[in-house]
Amino acid sequence: MTKHVPVLLDAVLDALGDLRGRRVIDATFGAGGYTRAFLNAGAIVTAFDRDPHVAADADAIKAEFGNRFTFIPEPFSAMGNLNDKYDAVVFDLGISSMQIDDGARGFSFRFDGPLDMRMSAAGISAAELIASSDASQLAKILRDFGDVKKAMPIARALKDAAPTTTGALRNLIHDPRDIAPVFQALRIAVNDEMGELTRALDAVPGLLNDGGICACVTFHSLEDRIVKNTFREWTTAPGDPRMPSVVAAPFKLLRASTPSPAEVARNPRARSAHCRAVIKSY
């Protein structure tokens, strides 16, 4: 199986600066590419991942770095339960190459496998989501999370055929341009990706020390919009009439960047990535 190649890691490391002795939350462990780089730079890392398949990589890093590394096999929205303070919280969102390239996980229309799409072992699969939703709920998912234009006819076809494999789902979609958006929309809904991100970001200001940094790497416009708007709120001065709800603005924008053409050539998965980072500074 393809090992995940970290995306925008240099931009993230650049935003984080000197990591010696710094306490970092890696919200999305994946294959441990980011975590390993943070540990090699001298950080103390607490990592989350809700995918049980990453356990072997987490164990290997634990064996190598001992108590400088803690792995929490839970959704990253659980970071709100941590009682410590940290110097950085990093998100590298979306799915890993290991997940998309494993046909048995049901994420990809390039393989025929069970229509699962769960990152974690818990919750309902994409096939169960289709079975338990009505056509208008499915059409809303397709519109909101995939910007699918013919959402209602596709939703009705999903209800009629009740696909249980990725191949069957793919065959139901007549316009090839709709295939990737339909798969994306179902995956986002199955994993409550927007809810997870919103809840985790809500916890970040309370977790960070003064001078602490939050960096997010996003892969599509929906999650990037959540990050961009949240960071705008955090960096808006109180009293700004454009954002009357803001009561404290301890953050400053550090950077916003996209991959270089060389990185995209090396790793096509990087092509839609954005890195945004803010620093907490009173």
Ligand X SMILES: C[S@@+](CC[C@H](N)C(=O)[O-])C[C@H]1O[C@@H](n2cnc3c(N)ncnc32)[C@H](O)[C@@H]1O
Minimum CB distance to ligand X, residue 272 (Å): 12
The DSSP line for 199-248 is HHHHHHHHHEEEEEEEEEEESSHHHHHHHHHHHHHHHSPTT-TT-TT---
Cβ nearer to ligand X, comparing 80 with 153: 80
**Residue type at 195 in one-letter notation:** G
Three-class SS of residue 131?
helix
Question: What span, in angstroms and rounded, lies between the C-alpha atoms of 173 and 148?
Answer: 11
Minimum CB distance to ligand X, residue 55 (Å): 11
Minimum CB distance to ligand X, residue 239 (Å): 34
Q: Which of residues 133-172 bind ligand X (CB under 6 A)?
A: none
Is the CB of residue 118 less than 8 Å from the CB of residue 154? Answer: no
Question: What span, in angstroms and rounded, lies between the C-alpha atoms of 194 and 146?
Answer: 13
Minimum CB distance to ligand X, residue 192 (Å): 8
Minimum CB distance to ligand X, residue 167 (Å): 23
Options 59-67, 92-100, 121-129, 254-262: segment touching ligand X (CB under 6 A): 92-100
Q: Which of 61, 79, 92, 146 is the binder for ligand X (CB under 6 A)?
A: 92
Q: Which of residues 169-198 bind ligand X (CB under 6 A)?
A: 196
Q: Using the rule CB under 6 A, is 119 a contact of ligand X?
A: yes
Cβ nearer to ligand X, comparing 70 with 236: 70
**Residue type at 38 in one-letter notation:** F
Three-class SS of residue 28?
coil
Question: What span, in angstroms and rounded, lies between the C-alpha atoms of 55 and 133?
Answer: 32
Options 88-96, 102-110, 148-156, 243-251: segment touching ligand X (CB under 6 A): 88-96
For the chain, helix, strand, coil in percent to 5 are 50, 15, 35
Q: Using the rule CB under 6 A, is 107 a contact of ligand X?
A: no
Question: What span, in angstroms and rounded, lies between the C-alpha atoms of 99 and 106?
Answer: 9
Q: Which of residues 22-81 bind ligand X (CB under 6 A)?
A: 28, 30-34, 48-51, 54, 75-76
Q: Which of residues 206-265 bind ligand X (CB under 6 A)?
A: none
Cβ nearer to ligand X, comparing 6 with 212: 6
Question: What span, in angstroms and rounded, lies between the C-alpha atoms of 226 and 194?
Answer: 8
> How far from each other are the two terminal CA atoms of the chain, in whole angstroms?
46
Tell me the site size for ligand X, rule CB under 6 A.
21
Options 17-25, 94-102, 107-115, 131-139: segment touching ligand X (CB under 6 A): 94-102
**Interacting residue ranges for ligand X, rule: CB under 6 A:** 4, 6, 28, 30-34, 48-51, 54, 75-76, 92, 94-96, 119, 196
